[in-house]
Amino acid sequence: MPTLFKPSESSLSTDQPNIDEITTDIAHLANRLPDIALTTDDIDDLLCSHSQELTDKDLIQLEAQVQEEAIESQEIASSISNSEKELTRKKLFVAFANLENAMEILEEMILILREVLMLITKFVQPISVTKTCMIARRKMRSNLELIVSLSQKFNLQFLITYFDY
C-alpha cells in the first residue's frame, strides 16, 4: 500500500478515513460507471506510479505527448465533421432530385386533369349535362384540388424531414 503522506498525530485520529477506505470508495464509485472495471489494486498501482517527482525533462516530454494527443484528436474530429458534411450534401442532393421528379410528375398530372376538364366543359353543353357528368366534373375538380393539396403537403413534409424543423 503506498503512503502519500507521513503519518502524524492528526492523520491518525479517528475523524480521518484511512487510505484503504478511500481506495475502496473510489473503486466502488468507478465501478458504478458503465465500461469501467476498476479494482483497489489498480488504484494502488496508480498511486505508486506517481509517488516520485518528475524531472524537467520528463515534464517537457509529458507536455509534448499531451499536445500531440490533442492535435490527433482535433484531426480526427475534423475528419469526422468533413465526412458528415459530405454525407449531408449527398443526402440533400438526392432529396432535391427526388422532390424535383415528384413535382414534375404532379405538374404533368395537373395539366392532364385540366385538359380533361376543358374537354368536358367544351364538348358537353351546360344544358345537356346529365347528373352523372356533373358528378364526374365535381370529382375531377376535387381530385385536382386533392393533388394540389397533396403537392403542398409533400413540400412541407420534405422540408420537415430534410431540414429537421
pLDDT digits (tens, 9 = 90+) for 2-27: 444 445 554 455 555 687 888 888 88
Cα gap 31→157, rounded to integer Å = 46
Indicate the number of domains in the chain: 2
Q: Are residues 98 and 37 in the same domain?
A: no
Q: What is the pTM of this model?
A: 0.29
Could you tell me if residue 119 is inside a domain? yes
Q: Are 47 and 4 in contact (CB under 8 A)?
A: yes
Tell whether 108 and 157 lie within a shared domain.
yes
* Domain containing residue 38: 1-52
| 149 assigned to some structural domain | yes
Query: Would 99 be classed as within a structural domain?
Result: yes
Distance CA 37, CA 51 (A): 23
Shared domain check, 133 and 89:
yes
Q: Would you say 138 and 113 are in contact if contact means Cβ atoms under 8 Å apart?
A: no
23, with CB counted inside 10 A (0-12, 13-18, 19+), is buried
CA dist 164 and 149 (Å) reads 22
pLDDT the model gives residue 165: 45
Cα distances (angstroms) measured from residue 95 to each of 13, 44, 83, 100: 72, 57, 18, 9
Asked whether 46 and 52 are in contact (CB, 8 A), the reply is: no
Q: How confident is the prediction along the chain (165 residues), in pLDDT tens digits per residue?
A: 444 444 555 445 555 568 788 888 888 887 887 777 778 888 787 777 766 677 888 888 888 988 998 888 888 777 766 666 666 777 778 888 888 888 888 888 888 888 777 776 666 555 455 666 667 777 777 777 777 777 777 766 666 666 654
Q: Are residue 48 and residue 90 in the same domain, yes or no?
A: no
Same domain, 90 and 156: yes
